[in-house]
Amino acid sequence: MEHFDVAIVGAGPAGSSAAIHLARKGYSVALLDKEQFPREKLCGDFLNPINWPVLRYLEVDRELLARAHEKVTTFRVSSFSGGEVEVPLPGSEDGTFFGLGMHRFDLDYVLLKKSEREGATLFQECKLRDLKRETEGWLLRFDRAAMLERLRARVLIGADGRNSWVAHRLGLADPRTMQGRSVGFQFLLEGSNRDTGKVEIHLFPGGYAGIVGLGGDTINLCLAIEKDRLRDGRPEQVLLEICLPQNSRLKEILRGAHISEMHSTYPVYFPPRRAYGEEVLLVGDAARVNEPVTGEGIYFALKSGQFAAGTIDQAFCKSDFSAGQLSSYERDCRSAFRMRRGINALIRWLIYRPALLSPLIRFSGRRRRLLDSLVHTICQPEATR
């Protein structure tokens, strides 16, 4: 049986970020995931410019730019009543900060392989069977290659996404929070009629769609819609033939486009869970899911992994892995993300109330200062402020 300082369940951006930071500090890290990477993942596939300082610190920025991507420099939003406005994304004088349209297939794989190069031990295609707290940490039992394996770790990180097995197993997840108002869908389109270099949000009755190019001829159309509007007929048919075409921009983008893939998820949003306990932390979507209206999901994941690594480092220095000691992680996240999550919540509230948001879009089209300021706040990399 192998022994590690830290076991991380889930190898997405949050888990890989935590693994990279901890491995660099000299800790032995086991990184487990039920999938074999690279793998598909439902996502908006937009990397907000705020991610660049984090990606450079992780030393994955050049490798990411070598993968298929689309450079994004402009934000566009439209309402189904006809209002539309676009503003430039903030950047730097040397042109090194910009948005990025990139498939999660590539992003997650690059981060995972970086964690391995830093010294993390990978366990892919393993399904957790049991999780037990012992006197000196955790015992994990999992299936891999038709065999039951075990490992021990002093500290546990749950980074296994919105439906976190770890959170539910340890009683950190309230099932009632998994009841939401909206369903999320992702369509990969080829041959669409659109402008390149833009990340777009288009409103339609009962929801909204985000669009970004992924390089080449492929775009990601990721949307959220109130679940009550999907009761009649197949969801794909209702969305593509009834809901989305009510926005003229979306109708034009869909005209002649070929749909290569479709995925769905529910709920789109759930509020924060308690993200710490005795010898355990939750990071990324395992801790909470922010509705992706501001495109900051990857940033929250990467930074929460970094904060978790710092908290665990302090716990090892003090030989104290109690909930009280680890609670500083949640305070760090709350302090760092408070303003961003507040803006996200406000926009999420407005986006399902078109009677309020549509006039605001028309107003912003005439006086762009308000929208410029909002986009700058959401997208300007912190290190350049």
Average pLDDT rounded to a whole number, residues 93-119: 92
Q: Is the pLDDT of residue 313 over 90?
A: yes
Q: Cα–Cα–Cα angle for 257, 262, 264, nearest 5°?
A: 140
Average pLDDT rounded to a whole number, residues 267-279: 91
- pLDDT value for 384: 43
Higher pLDDT, 221 or 216: 221
Average pLDDT rounded to a whole number, residues 241-245: 92
Confidence of residue 364 (pLDDT cuts 50, 70, 90): confident
Please spell the DSSP secondary structure of 276-300, one letter per residue.
EETTEEE-GGGT-B--GGGS-HHHH
Average pLDDT rounded to a whole number, residues 47-64: 95
Please tell me the distance from the alpha carbon of residue 248 to that of residue 209, in angstroms, as a whole number.
12
CATH level 2 (architecture), domain 2-40+105-177+271-347: 3-Layer(bba) Sandwich (3.50)
- pLDDT value for 383: 58
Q: Is the pLDDT of residue 220 over 60?
A: yes
Q: Is the pLDDT of residue 326 over 80?
A: yes
- pLDDT value for 266: 87
Burial of residue 235, with CB atoms counted within 10 A of its CB: 0-12 exposed, 13-18 middle, 19 or more buried: middle
Confidence of residue 93 (pLDDT cuts 50, 70, 90): low
Average pLDDT rounded to a whole number, residues 178-185: 86
Higher pLDDT, 194 or 282: 282
Q: Distances in Å between the alpha carbon of 33 and those of 164, 190, 322, 342?
A: 12, 30, 26, 31
As a whole number, the mean pLDDT across the chain is 92
Confidence of residue 105 (pLDDT cuts 50, 70, 90): very high
Higher pLDDT, 358 or 303: 303
Q: Is the pLDDT of residue 310 over 90?
A: yes
Average pLDDT rounded to a whole number, residues 343-353: 89
Which DSSP state fits 270?
B
pTM exceeds 0.85: yes
Average pLDDT rounded to a whole number, residues 318-341: 96
Burial of residue 76, with CB atoms counted within 10 A of its CB: 0-12 exposed, 13-18 middle, 19 or more buried: middle
Q: Is the pLDDT of residue 202 over 80?
A: yes
Q: Is the pLDDT of residue 359 over 70?
A: yes
Token pair, residue 8, equals 């991380």
- pLDDT value for 132: 95
- pLDDT value for 340: 92
Average pLDDT rounded to a whole number, residues 226-238: 86
Beta-carbon neighbour count of residue 255 at 10 Å? 11
Beta-carbon neighbour count of residue 114 at 10 Å? 19
Please tell me the distance from the alpha carbon of residue 251 to that of residue 349, in angstroms, as a whole number.
25
- Range picked from 2-11, 75-84, 252-261 for highest mean pLDDT: 2-11
Average pLDDT rounded to a whole number, residues 163-170: 94
- pLDDT value for 385: 40
- pLDDT value for 60: 97
Share of the chain above pLDDT 90, in %: 70
Token pair, residue 20, equals 């990279």
Q: Report whether 282 contacts 275 (CB < 8 A).
A: yes
Token pair 């940033």: residue: 299
Q: Report whether 265 contacts 220 (CB < 8 A).
A: no
Confidence of residue 195 (pLDDT cuts 50, 70, 90): confident
- pLDDT value for 18: 98
Q: What is the CATH number of domain 68-101+181-268+353-385?
A: 3.30.9.100
Q: Hey, is 111 helix, strand or coil?
A: helix
Per residue in 198-215, is it b (16+ CB within 10 Å) or e — as a string?
bbbbbbbebbbbbbbbbb
Please spell the DSSP secondary structure of 46-88, one letter per residue.
EE-GGGHHHHHHTT-HHHHHTSS-EEE-EEEEE-TTS-EEEEE
- pLDDT value for 97: 82
Q: Is the pLDDT of residue 302 over 80?
A: yes
Per residue in 266-289, is it b (16+ CB within 10 Å) or e — as a string?
ebbbbebbbbbbebbbbbbbbbbb
Q: Hey, is 155 helix, strand or coil?
A: strand
Sketch the domain layout of the chain as residue ranges: 2-40+105-177+271-347, 68-101+181-268+353-385
